[in-house]
Amino acid sequence: MPRPSASIERVFHALGDPTRRAIVERLSRGPVSVSKLHAPLNITLAAVVQHLQVLEGSGLVRTTKVGRVRTCHMEPKGFSAVERWINDRRTLWEKRLDHLGDLLAEEDDEA
Amino acid sequence: MPRPSASIERVFHALGDPTRRAIVERLSRGPVSVSKLHAPLNITLAAVVQHLQVLEGSGLVRTTKVGRVRTCHMEPKGFSAVERWINDRRTLWEKRLDHLGDLLAEEDDEA
């Protein structure tokens, strides 16, 4: 099992690149072969394969090979660690606001 | 207004770095001065300032200066573009699964 922080690191890094986001956007509409994925992208097939390796390493994409055809699938659970991290930040921030609100209300009561 | 894709790019890039994530984690618990933010981090003050500039550029952090003290605040709405992007991918992916389910149910009816 990779450490959660390592996984967050990889997902943020993977999605920081516009080509890799375009690949995930395409795969969210359904699985597709590497060659079909390559066709609309203005880069070499070798570059597509490299991007796919980064995406597989981050857990956002899975590829399967049947005969000579490699098919790419999106893995929605790959987003979980990042979603959790963002939610945790938001929750802490909102709790603090609630706490400030309570303190202000107490001051009003005492005034 | 920056393009949404440029903003997503900046947020993913900003959060791809463990020190910048540590800064956001600290700020989600409340605003703090640059020098207090610096104290527990094992890097130079200049490096902290550079990380803060990246975070400000991404819209995740805001800093304000009163007298000689610069205070850093988390900006939760800075996460919105990235959350929306992830939700859109998930929604498309789930719609496709629903559609596949419908197709399979139709095949069962016809069998």
pLDDT at A80 over 90: yes
Q: Note whether A21 contacts B79, CB cutoff 8 Å.
A: no
**Contact yes or no for B53/B14 (Cβ under 8 A):** no
Which residues in chain A are contacts of B88 at CB distance < 8 A? 28
Percent of the residues in chain A that have a pLDDT greater than 70, as a whole number: 93
Identify the pLDDT of residue B55: 97
Identify the pLDDT of residue A7: 87
| Across B8-34, average pLDDT | 94
* CA B85/CA B68 separation, integer angstroms: 39
Q: Note whether A76 contacts B83, CB cutoff 8 Å.
A: no
* Alpha helices (H) along chain B: 4-15, 18-27, 34-38, 45-58, 80-110
CB of B3 within 8 Å of a chain A CB? The answer is no
| Across B28-52, average pLDDT | 95
Provide CATH code, domain B6-110.
1.10.10.10
pLDDT at A109 over 80: no
CB of A77 within 8 Å of a chain B CB? The answer is no
Q: Is the ipTM of this complex over 0.85?
A: no
CB of B99 within 8 Å of a chain A CB? The answer is no
CB of B8 within 8 Å of a chain A CB? The answer is yes
- pLDDT category, B1, cuts 50, 70, 90? very low
Residue B66 backbone phi and psi in degrees, to 5: -125, 120
Give the rounded distance of the alpha carbon of A25 from its chain centre.
11
- pLDDT category, B108, cuts 50, 70, 90? confident
- pLDDT category, B5, cuts 50, 70, 90? low
- pLDDT category, A1, cuts 50, 70, 90? very low
